[in-house]
Chains A and B, each alone.
Chain A
Amino acid sequence: MTKLDAKIPEGALADKWTKYRSSVSLVNPANKRSLEIIVVGSGLAGASAAASLAELGYKVKVFCFQDSPRRAHSIAAQGGINAAKNYQNDGDSVYRLFYDTIKGGDYRAREANVHRLSEVSGNIIDQCVAQGVPFAREYGGLLSNRSFGGTQVQRTFYAAGQTGQQLLLGAYSALQRQVGMGNVKMYTRHEMLDVVTIDGKARGIIARDSVTGALERHFGHAVLLCTGGYGNVFYLSTNAMGSNVTAAWKAHKKGAYFANPCYTQIHPTCIPVSGDHQSKLTLMSESLRNDGRIWVPKKQNDNRKANEIPEDERDYYLERRYPAFGNLVPRDIASRAAKERCDAGYGVGTSKMAVYLDYAAAIIRYGKGEANKNNMHNPSDEEIQAMGKAVVKEKYGNLFDMYKQITGEDPYEVPMRIYPAVHYTMGGLWVDYNLMTTVPGLYALGEANFSDHGANRLGASALMQGLADGYFVIPYTIGAYLASEIRTPAMSTDSEDFVAAEKAVRDRLETLMNIKGSKPVDYFHKRLGKIMWDECGMARSAEGLKASIKEIQALQKEFWSDVKIPGEIDNLNPELEKAGRVADFLELGELMCIDALDRNESCGGHFRTEYQTEDGEALRDDENYAYVAAWEYEKQSSFKLHKEELKYENIKIAQRSYK
C-alpha cells in the first residue's frame, strides 16, 4: 500500500500554519507573470482563489459551465458563515471553533487542516467586509451574529437568508475586477471534460464550449478544481440542477484519489417531496432551528391539523432526546431523529414523511419582547402576534416567502412541514495540507475536496471552508509547487498528450450520441437516485449496500446501451451535457456504496444500521476506522483502498454527545 503523505508541518498545532506560511517557497513577481493557473469552477472557492492568485500576478484562466461565474451554487447558501471572532464575548476562540468542527465531524477530520481553517476564519470576515459585503448589523453599527447547530456560542455571520449570495457576489466582484484588468481570462458556458497529465503532472484540461460544442485544449502549470460537491448523485438534492462530479471524477480517473465518498450530509430541514415531477429539493436554512421548534404528534397516524393538536399532545422530540442542544443538535443527528419518528408512524402531512417546524412560540416570545421594548403594558394577543411576526419577518422573511411560494401554505399561520434531504458531500478528492491531490499540480478546493469536515459538516462551515481555501490557503501553498516550476515554459497544446486527451473526450461524446436508445437521461438518473437514497442515504446496511453495487453495475450497462440523447454534438445540447454527468454519477455511486460497505462503523452522516448504541446513536469504531479512506481508480468497478491514519494529538476523542 502506498503511504499517503499529508505533508502536515511539524510543530505545535497552533504554530503549524504560521510557521509554514512564513517558510513555504515563494515565487518572485517576475516569475509569477509567466506561470499559468487554470481554475475550474467559480463558486466561493474558485472565485476567491482565482481573484487572489491573479492579484498576486499569476496568469489565470477560469472555467464555469453556467452563463456567468455569479451563478455558481454557492449563491444559494442561506444561513451564514462561521468565524471565531468572539464579538459576542461568549467564550469563543480559535481553539473552540477547531474543537467544535472536529467533534461535529465525529472525529474523522484532520486536526492540522481544521485548526488552520479556524485560524483564518476571522480574516475571511474582514476581507468580505472590506469588499462591501453587506452583513447583518446591530443598531450600534457592529456586525450581528446568530447561533447554528452543534455549537453553544454565537459565531455565525449572516446577510438575511442570503449569506452565500452576498459572499459569492463579493468574490465574484473581486474576480471581475481581475477580468477587467486582463489578469483573468473567463470562459463561461464551458465544461471541463478531462485533466491532461504529462509525465505524471497536471498540465491542463480539455473543455467543451457548450454553445458551439467545440472541444478546446488549455495549458496550465497547475490546475485547481473548485467544482463543488456530488450530492446530485441522489438525483433529488438541494444542489443546483447542473451541480456535478464530472471534473472531480475525471481527475479521479487520471490518478487523484477519492476520499471518504460515503460521507454525505442529509440536511434535516428541507421542504418535503410533493410528487414524481420533483426536480430538486429546497432547503429551509438551519438558522430556522434557532427559533423554530421541531415536533410531531404524540399519537401515531394523527390526522388532525397542526393547530388542532394541543400542546400536551405534541412531542418535541429533539428537546426531549437532547436537552443540552435541543433543536440545535448537528444536522446528522436531527435528520436521523426525523427519520426515526416518521418511520415509527408519527410523520405528518399527506405523505406522512414530514415533521413540523413551528414558529408559534417564537412569534409570541418576540412579540412580548417588542411590547416590553416599546413600553406597552397589557398588549393584546393580536398586538403581540403582529409585532412578533414583524420580528420573524425581518430575520427570516425571505425563507418564509420561499416556503409559501413552493407549498402554497403560510408559515406565519401554520407550522412548516420539513423532511431531510441530501445537501452536502463531506467526501471529495483527497488532498494534502497544501490542497494538492495525489496528482502533482492538481489541486482541489472547497466542497470538491474532502479535507475539513470529517464525517459531518457543521452548519455555516461550508462557506468558511470555501473562502478559506481560496483567499487564504492556496495563495500560499501553491508556492510549494510552483516554485519548482519556474523553469517550465508554457507548453504547446499540440503535443501528443493534449491531442490524445481531446480525442478520448471526443470519442466518448460520440459514443454517447450514437447509442440512440429509448430512455432519456433523467430516467437513469432517477433510478440511480432511488438506489442511493434507499440504500446509501440516512441508513445503510451491508446487505443493502452489496445489493446496490450489483444494481448500479447493471444500471451502468443499461445506460450505455439504452440512453437516448437528442440534438447535435456541435450545438447547445443540455441533454448531452447531462448524459456525461450521469455517466460519471453512475460510477461514483458504485464507489460510494463500496466505501460505505468498507466502513464497518457509524460516524457522522454515515450510519450503518448494524452499528448503533442501545438508544440509536451512531457507534464509532476508533480502533479500526480512524482513517481517511482514499480510493485509487484501477479500472471500471475496481478501486484500491489507501488509508490515511488520523491522529488526534490535541483533542481527546470521545463518543459525541449532545445530550
Chain B
Amino acid sequence: MEGHLNLTLKIWRQKNASVAGKFETYQVSGISTDMSFLEMIDVLNNRLIEEGDDPVAFDHDCREGICGMCSMYINGRPHGPNRGVTTCQLHMRSFQDGETITVEPWRASAFPVIKDLVVNRSAFDRIIAAGGFVSVNTGNAQDANNLPIPKENADEAFAAAACIGCGACVAACKNASAMLFTSAKVSQLALLPQGQVEAASRAQAMVAQMDEEGFGACSNTGACEAECPKGISIENIARMNREYFSATFSSK
C-alpha cells in the first residue's frame, strides 16, 4: 500500500568536467512509496526550478529498465540497494522514512563526469566499434532457418546479449574494469555459429580497445555480476579469456 516518506538527500553536484564537485544536501517530504527513484528526483528538481536553483542533471530515458541510460550510484551501490533492477525501476518502497540517501555519479576515469550525475560512457561505443559485430552487410543473408542453432546455445547467447550497456559493472568494480560488458558481447557472438568466424580477432580487438580506454584490470571479485541489473554472468569473462588467450597463442 502507498505510504509517504520524508528523506534527506546528499547529491553530488558538479557544474562541468573542469570544475570540482561536492555533495549538497536536500530535504524532500511526502514522497509516495509508489514513486520510482527518478520520479522522486523529478519532484526535487521541479522544486529547485521553482526556487530558482539549477536542477540536478541526470541521465534517463526509457524509465522501464531497458535503455541503460540511468546511472546513479545510490548509497554506495550502482542502481541502489535492490538486485537486478536499474535506478528507474527502483521504487521508493525500498526506502525507510527518515533515511539519508547518498547519490553519486558512476566513478571511473574512463567515464568522466559531464555534469552532476551525468557521465560520458562513449568508451563503450568504441569498444563495440572495435569488434562487437558480425561482419555481414545488409542483403547477404541466407534463409534464417538454414542455420539451426541448439536452443541451449541460443538461450545462453541471449542471456549475454541482454546487457544494457549501463556501466554499473564498471562503477561497481574497484578497478573500474569493463570486463563484464566487453565479455558479454564477445560471448554472445562466440556462442553462435554466425559469430565464430571472427571470434578470435573480435576478442583481441575489443580487449585492446578496452585497455586503450583506460578501464582497469579484472581481479575476479565478482562485484560486477552482483550489481549488474540484468544478471549478466561472470562466466562470460571466463569465456572471453579463453577466446582471448587462444587467439593470442594461435595468432600469426
Q: Is the CB of B192 within 8 A of A405?
A: no
Does chain A have a CB within 8 A of B211? no
A278 to B35, CA, bound (A): 7
Min Cβ gap A82→B in Å is 14
User: How long is the Cα–Cα vector from A566 to B68 in the complex, in angstroms?
Assistant: 27
Bound together, the chains give a CA A69 to CA B36 distance in angstroms of 25
Nearest chain B CB to A449 CB, angstrom units: 20
Given A132-B188, A279-B36, A402-B89, are A123 and B141 neighbors across the interface (CB < 8 Å)? yes
Interface residues on A, range: 35 or more
Q: Which residues of A contact B49 (CB under 8 A)?
A: 520, 564, 566, 575
Query: For B138, what are the chain A residues with a Cβ–Cβ distance below 8 Å?
Result: 48, 51-52, 55, 127, 174, 471-472, 475
CA–CA, A21 and B222, complex, Å? 53
Q: Indicate with 1 or 0, residue by residue over A54-67, a CB within 8 angstroms of chain B CB atoms.
A: 01000000000011
Among A51, A162, A169, A575: residue with most chain B CB under 10 A: A169
Residues of A within 8 A of B157 (CB): 132, 134
Asked if A402 contacts B134 (CB within 8 A), the reply is no
Closest residue of B by beta carbon distance from A271: B64
* Alpha-carbon separation in the docked complex, A408 to B122 (Å): 35
Any A CB within 8 A of the CB of B38: yes
Inter-chain contacts of A87 with B (CB < 8 A): 145
Cα–Cα distance between A493 and B62 once the two chains are bound (Å): 35
Determine the distance from Cα of A125 to Cα of B133 in the docked complex, in whole angstroms.
17
When chains A and B are docked, how far (Å) is the Cα of A123 from the Cα of B143?
8
- Please determine whether A520 and B46 come into contact, CB atoms closer than 8 angstroms: yes
B130 at the interface (CB under 8 A from A): yes
Is B5 close to A, CB under 8 A?
no
Q: In the bound complex, do residue B66 and residue A68 qualify as a contact, i.e. CB atoms below 8 Å apart?
A: no
Do A177 and B55 have beta carbons less than 8 Å apart?
Answer: no
What residues make up the interface of A, taking CB atoms closer than 8 Å to B?
A: 48, 51-52, 55, 66-71, 73, 75-76, 85, 87, 123, 125-143, 159-160, 162, 165-166, 169, 172-174, 176-177, 179-180, 186, 188, 211, 238, 240-242, 274-275, 277-280, 282-283, 401-402, 405-406, 408, 471-472, 475, 518, 520, 522, 564, 566-567, 571-572, 574-575
When the two chains form their complex, are residues B124 and A68 in contact, meaning their CB atoms are under 8 A apart? yes
Q: State whether the Cβ of B15 lies closer than 8 Å to any Cβ in chain A.
A: yes
Contact with A along B20-47 (1 / 0, CB 8 A): 0000000000001011101100110010
Q: What chain B residues lie within 8 Å of A133 (beta carbons)? A: 161
Counting CB contacts under 8 A, is B95 at the interface?
A: no
In the complex, the chain B residue whose C-beta lies closest to that of A166 is B161
B151 at the interface (CB under 8 A from A): yes
Q: How far is the CB of B124 from chain A (nearest CB, A)?
A: 7
Contact A134 B133 (CB under 8 A): no
Whether the Cβ atoms of B64 and A282 lie closer than 8 Å is yes
Q: CA separation between A186 and B118, bound complex, in Å?
A: 20
For residues 75 through 99 of chain B, which have their beta carbon under 8 Å from a beta carbon of chain A?
A: 84-85, 89, 91, 93
Report Cα–Cα, A131/B130, bound state, in Å: 16
B195 touches A277 (CB 8 A): no
Indicate if the CB atoms of A174 and B144 lie closer than 8 Å: no
A242, A277, A471 interface centre (most CB from chain B within 10 Å): A277
Given contacts A128-B144, A173-B133, 16 further A-B contacts (CB under 8 A): A67-B122, A68-B68, A132-B189, A134-B192, A137-B154, A141-B148, A143-B145, A240-B67, A241-B63, A274-B2, A275-B34, A402-B64, A408-B93, A475-B139, A564-B49, A566-B48
Q: Which of A125, A143, A180 has the most CB of B within 10 A?
A: A180
Contact A127 B139 (CB under 8 A): yes
Beta-carbon nearest neighbor of A212 in chain B: B16
Mind listing 11 A-B residue pairs with CB under 8 Å? A52-B139, A67-B122, A130-B134, A133-B161, A136-B158, A176-B132, A240-B61, A242-B61, A275-B34, A402-B64, A572-B115
Given A132-B134, A274-B34, A279-B63, decide whether A166 and B145 contact each other with a Cβ distance below 8 A: no
CB-based nearest A residue for B120: A67
In the complex the two chains form, what is the Cα distance from A172 to B89 in whole Å? 24
Q: What residues of A have a CB within 8 angstroms of the CB of B93 in the complex?
A: 408
Given contacts A68-B165, A129-B194, A176-B133, contact A165 B144 (CB under 8 A): no
Whether B50 pairs with A520 at a CB distance below 8 angstroms is yes
- Complex contacts, A52 vs chain B, CB 8 Å: 137-139
Q: How far is the CA of A528 from the CA of B137 in the complex (A)?
A: 44
A residues in contact with B161, CB < 8 Å: 133-134, 159, 166, 169
Contact B192 A176 (CB under 8 A): no
Residues of A within 8 A of B124 (CB): 68
Q: How far is the CB of A529 from chain B (nearest CB, A)?
A: 15
Chain A nearest CB, measured from B162 CB (Å): 7
A71 touches B67 (CB 8 A): yes
Residue of B nearest to A159 (CB): B158
What residues on A are CB-neighbors of B155 within 8 Å? 134, 137
B115 lies within 8 A of A571 (CB):
yes
Report yes or no: B122 in contact with A131, Cβ–Cβ below 8 A.
Answer: no
Contact A70 B136 (CB under 8 A): no
Whether A137 pairs with B151 at a CB distance below 8 angstroms is: yes
Chain A residue at minimum C-beta to C-beta distance from B190: A132
- A173–B115 Cα gap in the complex (Å)? 28
- Interchain nearest-CB distance for B114 vs A (Å): 6
Contact A85 B129 (CB under 8 A): no
Which residues 202-219 of B sit at the A interface, judged by CB distance below 8 A?
none
Expressed in whole angstroms, the minimum distance between the Cβ of B123 and any Cβ of chain A is 10
